[in-house]
Amino acid sequence: MELKCCVQQYAWGKIGRSSEVALLSGSGDPDFVVNERMPYAELWMGTHPNGPSVIKGTSQKLSDWIATHEESLGKQVLKQFGRQLPFLLKVLSVNKALSIQAHPNKCHAEQLHKRSPEVYKDPNHKPELAIALTPFEALCGFRPLSEIKHNLQGIPELRDIIGKEAISELLNSDEAGIQAALRKVFHHLMTCPKETLQTQLQNLLRRVETLGKHESSRASLQVPLLQRLHSDFPGDVGCFGIYFFNLVTLNPGESIYLGPNEPHAYLSGDCIECMACSDNVVRAGLTPKYKDVETLCNMLTYQCAPADTKKFLPRKEDDFTYIFSPPVPDFAVAKIMVPPGTGSYNLICRNSASIIIVIEGEAVSNIVKLKRGTIFYLPATEKCSVNNTAGLRPLQLYQAFANV
């Protein structure tokens, strides 16, 4: 069944036709009109109540159809998750940074939902996978400890915010005490009085403006990123987060997986994103939204690792299919690339219901006509064959399904 899906116009989204979300939506739905002055941030494909998909040509929600056709989910999905689609597939178009955030594990999500249901609106965890469609930037996980120590020693404005005692504790910690010391340092940063924070941020910005274009310190201070974040979020504590978190740059087709309690912030680019069916986010910077600083500081992993270890690698399933299979049962994503001139090709049969989006190309299939922006629901174990004999470009599909 072909789907009509929800577009979210959050302020951080790319504007007009610069947004892959807008372009895909316009291509897949002839009634969709792109406003060149408006942001188009996310395309939601699934059953989440904040942006439910509907069956194209009707007003029926996909969730309502599934409720009366539960067998379409697949036996394993029904057994593990009940009568619901356990994942949410998205396309994101990021123009400016999303918040510094992390997602709770299942047990913590239940506690947060019980404590503050108006903020944490469901009791589910939210592991997520991002696969780049264009060059994509993100902050992800804590930097190697040596880099954090270098930044604390080399950036006086950061030292003045955090204080000598907490920094000395981290610099002199043995291996057993590193995580606790890093937690203390990070907490000092995130709870710094606003006036002190803004004074030191202005001091740093003035100082970097005096650096020559080719000075090595410009790179270590990440001057362009610092200035960009401050321009979008003046005076925000998240501007200093770049000295604690890895900057990860993904080429198209590369991905990162974000498990529970992993600090991150998407910065720019377009991506496919898949997650457990939840909208639980604990935020603490680079956002005008509600910040739950104490919860974030208490939940983070504080595990330090290099940026290149954050990339999540797929495995090859057949000549045209690579699967990104994270260590959770809620979801996996297959990237399917069918070259032009290819005759009949059968997509790998899944024991879970799936949602498929066409990112590039045109082809015929036994399900629906495939073109850029087409989105459809495929019941578990149902066969889907495509034929790209007449195609001039590769047919590029992304397929999300439960990882059972």
> Which residue is it, tokens 């057993």?
176
Q: How far apart are CA 274 and CA 104, in angstroms?
A: 16
- Annotated catalytic residues are 283
Task: Give first-to-last CA distance, the chain, whole Å.
Answer: 22
Give the DSSP letter of residue 175: G
CA angle 98/133/18 to nearest 5° reads 70
Nearest to 181 by CA among 195, 194, 166: 166
Nearest to 200 by CA among 249, 165, 239: 239
Tell me the two tokens of residue 101.
């955030």
CA angle 110/114/116 to nearest 5° reads 115
Non-local (6+) Cβ contacts of 24 within 8 A are 43, 91, 357, 359, 372, 373
CB 154 within 8 A of CB 257: no
